[in-house]
Structure 1
Amino acid sequence: MLLVLGSEIINGQIAPDNEMLYMASVLDNRGYHICGGFLVSENLVMTAAHCDVNPRYVVLGNHHLRSDTDKSVIQIADKYKHPYYRKVGSGYDIMLLKLPTLVQPNKTIQFIRLPLREMTLKENEKCQVAGWGKINTYGNVVDDLRVVDVSVIGPQVCQNAWAQKVPGYKLPPNVICAGGYNTNKGFCQGDSGGPLVYKGMAVGIVSYNKAIGENLGQCDYPDVPNVYTDISKYVNWFRRILQGGKS
C-alpha cells in the first residue's frame, strides 16, 4: 500500500495576509519549500515528523513564498522528532523545530494556541487546513498560502473507508480524519506539517492521504479521508520540550 505525504490544498482559496499569521514554511538546505509548519511558542515551530528531510530554515511572517517583504528566514537550531515515529502511516507524525532566538509577535507573526489537554472533535465539526502545496493532483506547489474548510470524519467511518480500499488496513494511533472523502476539498503533496485549525486552535498536523502512484497522491477526488496527527494526544510530550527536556 502506498501513502503519500500531505502537500497541497485542493479547491481552497488564497489566505488573507492578515490571517493565519502563525504559518511557517519549512525550507531545505537549498532554500526550497518542503513542508508547512506553525509557530507554537517563542522559539518552536510544530510540523510533521516525516518532514525530517534535511530541514534547514523556517520562513515566518509572509504568506507569499517568492516575496521578500516582511519575511523572516530563520535557521533551525535543533529538531525534536517524536521518539516513536518510524514512518508515515504508522503514527506519531509530529516534530518540533527549535529556533536559535526568541520570536516576538508583531503585525505579521503570531503564535497559535494548542490544546491544553486531550480532546476529541465531534464528527462534522468544521476546521480549516492551510498550506503551500499543490492545488491539484498533477500541479505544482504554489507561492501563495491557500486555505480550505474541511469537516471532521468520525474514526470508525475513517477506518471503514480506508479498509474498503486497502484490505486489512488499520489507522495509526492518535490521528484525526478530516476532508478528502466524499468531497473535493482537502490537502495534497506539499501541505505536510501544516495545521488543522479548529476555532483558532491547532488540533492536527497534516500527515498523509492515499497514493495513486509512486509519489503521487490522489488529491482532487480521493476515496479515503485525509489523515492528521492529533496534537491533543501529545500535550505532555510538547510540555517536556517546552521546559527544556528532550523528546
Structure 2
Amino acid sequence: MHTINKLLLTVLLTYLGHSVAFGGQIINGKKAKRNSLQYMASVQNNEKHICGGFLITPDFVLTAAHCNKSNLSVVLGTHNIKMGLGKAVRYNVERKCKSNSYENVKDGSDIMLLKLSRKVKLSKSVKKVRLPTKDKVLKPNTKCLAAGWGTTTTDRPFVDELQVVDVEAIDLKVCQKQWDHVDFNLPPNVICAGGYPTNKGTCQGDSGGPLVCNGEAVGIVSFNMNGNCAYPNVPNVYTQISKYLPWIKEVINKQSC
C-alpha cells in the first residue's frame, strides 16, 4: 500500500502542475501594505498570472523552474494585478534559464532565472531583494514571510491583491518526518516553512515567489501536498537559493545560460 501511495503522490506532483500540486496561494495571511515588497513580480503566461517571482537585478527575475511556459512576461510595480497596469510595467522575457540539474519538481532544483527584455528602472515601487552571500543553513524557527497572488483557500481562483503571510522555518528532519506520512522523500537543497504545525502557508499560484527571512530571499516556493492547503498537514517546501549561488552568478555575469 505504501508503494501505491508513493506512486500516486509522484503522479500528482508531476501531472497536476500549476493548477493543483505546485506552489499556491497565501493561506491565512493578509493584504500586503502599499509600497512594500517592491521586489515582487507576477510571472504571466499570455498576460495571465501563473506564478510569483522576485527581482534580483535590474534585468533578472528569479522564479521556480516548473513555472516555465512558452509565452512568459513579468509584471513589476503593482500590488493589484487586475486593475490594469497603472504604474506597473510589463516586461517580456528574453531568455529562460533553468538549473541544468532540474528534471521535475519531485527531484528538486526547482529554480529558474528570467532574463528581461530590458533593464528595470528602480523606483519607490520597484526594488531588488537581497540574496544570501554564501551557502548557509536556515535555522529552525527563523521568522520569515511569503507572498503571492495565489488563492486563499484550496481550489479557489487567484486573488487580485498581493497577500503576505508570516511563517517559520522548520527543521529538515522534522519536515521529512511529516512527509514520511505520505511516503515522500524530500529532494535535496530545500527549505521547509509553513503548512505545519500552523494553519499558515502557501498554495496554488504562489509558486516561484520568495521566502524572505531577515530581509533576504532564501527560498523559492516549490510545492505542497497535492495542492491541499487546508493546513496544518505537511510543511511547504522551498528551493534553497544559497545552494545555487554560483549558478545564479554565472548566468547573470554571462547574461545567458
TM-score, normalised by the number of residues in structure 1: 0.94
- Is 1:191 matched up with 2:191? no
Alignment partner of 2:79 out of 63, 70, 74: 63
Partner amino acid for 2:30? Q
- Look up the equivalent residue of 2:195 and give its one-letter code: G
Asked whether 1:23 is paired with 2:33, we answer no
User: SS at 2:244's partner residue?
Assistant: helix
Counterpart contact for 1:134–1:190, Cα < 8 Å: yes
Which is helix-richer, 1 or 2? 2
Deviation for aligned residue 1:10:
0.2
User: 1:110 and 2:127 equivalent?
Assistant: yes
The 8 Å contact of residues 43 and 53 in structure 2, kept in 1 or not, is answered as: yes
Distance in 1 between residues matched to 2:71 and 2:235, nearest whole Å: 27
Tell me which stretches of 4 or more aligned residues in structure 1 moved more than 2 Å: none
Q: What is the aligned partner in structure 2 of residue 177 from structure 1?
A: 192
- For residue 221 of structure 1, what is the amino acid of its counterpart? Y
Q: Match of 2:218?
A: 203
Tell whether the 8 Å contact from 1:6 to 1:191 is kept in structure 2 after alignment: yes
Give the superposition deviation at 1:222. Answer: 4.2
> Aligned-residue CA RMSD in angstroms?
1.1
Residue matched to 1:162: 179
SS of the aligned residue for 1:240 comes to helix
Aligned equivalents of 1:182, 1:32: Cα separation in 2? 33
Q: What displacement does 1:103 show? A: 1.2
CA distance 1:55–1:173, change in 2 (3 Å): farther
Residue deviations 1:182-224, cap 9 Å, x none?
Answer: 211000000000000001110000000011xxxxx11022411
Structure 2 match to 1:230:
240
Find the counterpart in structure 2 of residue 214 from structure 1.
none
Structure 2 CA distance for aligned equivalents of residues 107 and 20 of structure 1? 11
- Structure 2: tracts of 5 or more residues without a match: 1-8, 14-20
Q: Any idea what SS the aligned residue of 1:80 has?
A: strand
Aligned partner of 1:220 in structure 2 is 230
- The 2-side partners of 1:183 and 1:233 are apart by 27
Question: Partner of 2:107 in structure 1?
Answer: 90
